[in-house]
A and B are shown apart, each in its own frame.
Chain A
Amino acid sequence: MEGDIVIAAKMVGAGLATIGALGAGIGIGIVVNGAVQAMGRNPDASGLITTNMFLGIAFSESIGIFCLVIAFLLLFVV
């Protein structure tokens, strides 16, 4: 299945798949916004807030990574 247009379609598909990183970026921004505001109100709870912030960042980032996995799947496997 290796015509020129198939390779071009693969490249375009991989490029379009990374639009999902937009959601990941916005999500991480919202999580860190909430964490920084909470740390400003209550500096004593810094450790707890930081732990939960990293948890939230990992969740949000994994959705962006799913999109990247699809892009790499299109480029290298199909």
Chain B
Amino acid sequence: MTKTEEKKPRWRWGFNRYIVLALLIVSAIAAGRYAPIQPHFQVPAELLSTEPLFTIPFLNAPVFLSNTLTAILLVDLILFLIAGIVYFSTRSGKLVTRGITGAIEGFLEALYNLTQTNAGKWTKTIFPFFATIMLVVFVANTMELIPGVDSVGLFEQQHIEDPAACNLDTIGHVGTTEIVGVSGATECSAGVVPFVRVVSTDLNFTIALAIISVVSTQIIGVRALGLNYFTKFFNTRTLFNKPFLGAIDFFVGIIELLSEFIKILSFSFRLFGNVLVGTILLFVFGSLLPVFVPSGILIFNFLVGIIQAFVFGLLTMIFMSLATVSHHPEEAGEHH
């Protein structure tokens, strides 16, 4: 040990371990008294209101209040709050910002550099799509960590035509939870419908985001290359010079067109599948081993949510920057 070595303070266990221990004991007692019940899932979002809020006039589509609608409104509120904080804090003129503003600035700068290496000239057009999609999906997937999401809700009985046919008979107790058997009609069940459900588990949200992403890619392609962008799909360039190779090129172009539609499905189902499977796994393990194991699954869901948000945005950015590049060697440079 030389004299110039600093003496670091010895690392000691902190105080937080007592808080974790207390919470573990509380959860073990609670799981003993109030036993977990078997969860019931449905893929479409559960409706919170029996009557529609309003009806879209041209399509005759009623819009109900579902629990993912409350979730997306919460996501919007959180994002507006963050935007307001960042706006007022950058107006104050400080060069080095701290807190939330500093975090958002660093995050956006990393994304901007990543966009710049891929997109080149079109960075200023492409970057807002990348950052917005990533921020929305990131906040939406992080909301599952807030206590109360997916757990606090309305207790309802499934709507059936003849409620008197559902007799709930008690067949036993576990702790203070009554285990009821349902005799009578075969479609009786009762359960808790959460007020807020993670928005990415709703196929409406993911398909809408995927359609926005793919259609914006086409629009940016047309802005970069003019209407010649569509010769990527209907490639009749070499069809008349060299018939055989031209036919293959034409066929490849048609497959490119099909692949644009497949991209919509792929984007939406990637995000939807990851988050829905995580939620189902969380509930199933919560009913089997309620004490400590769901925390591990929650951490895994959190990481998967962040990675899927990044992948959605990154793929959007990559496809957009590919759309601005001309494939054919005869065109030198892009048209405006």
Contact = CB atoms under 8 A, between A and B. Distances in A.
A73 B274 contact: no
A55 interface: yes
B273 A77 contact: no
B185 to A, nearest CB: 13
A62 B274 contact: yes
A58 B308 contact: yes
Contacts of B310: 54, 58
Contacts of A58: 270, 307-308, 310-311
B273 A66 contact: yes
Interface string B35-64: 000000111000000000000000000000
A73 B43 contact: yes
B: interface residue count bin:
10 to 19
A39 interface: no
B92 to A, nearest CB: 33
A65 interface: yes
Interface string B267-296: 001101110110010000000000000000
B266 interface: yes
B206 to A, nearest CB: 11
A62 B277 CA distance: 12
B276 A72 contact: yes
B314 interface: yes
Contact of A68 (B266, B277, B307): B277
Nearest to A61: B274
**Residue from B41, B42, B43, B270 whose CB has the most chain A CB atoms within 10 Å:** B270
B277 A69 contact: yes
A55 B273 contact: no
Nearest to B280: A72
A62 B43 contact: no
B42 A76 contact: yes
B41 A66 contact: no
Contacts of A77: 42-43
A76 B272 contact: no
A77 B44 CA distance: 9
A69 B273 contact: yes
A66 B269 contact: yes
A68 to B, nearest CB: 5
Interface string A52-71: 00110111011001101100
B308 A68 contact: no
A58 B315 CA distance: 11
B273 A68 contact: yes
A45 B69 CA distance: 43
A55 to B, nearest CB: 7
A69 B280 contact: no
B43 A55 contact: no
Contacts of B277: 65, 68-69, 72
Contacts of A59: 311
A3 to B, nearest CB: 13
B288 to A, nearest CB: 17
Contact of A62 (B270, B276, B314): B270
A74 to B, nearest CB: 11
Given A58-B311, A69-B269, A72-B43, 4 more contacts: A66-B273, A68-B277, A69-B272, A72-B280
22 contacts: A54-B307, A57-B307, A58-B308, A58-B311, A62-B270, A66-B269, A66-B270, A66-B273, A68-B273, A68-B277, A69-B269, A69-B272, A69-B273, A69-B276, A69-B277, A72-B41, A72-B43, A72-B276, A72-B280, A76-B41, A76-B42, A77-B43
Interface of B: 41-43, 266, 269-270, 272-274, 276-277, 280, 307-308, 310-311, 314
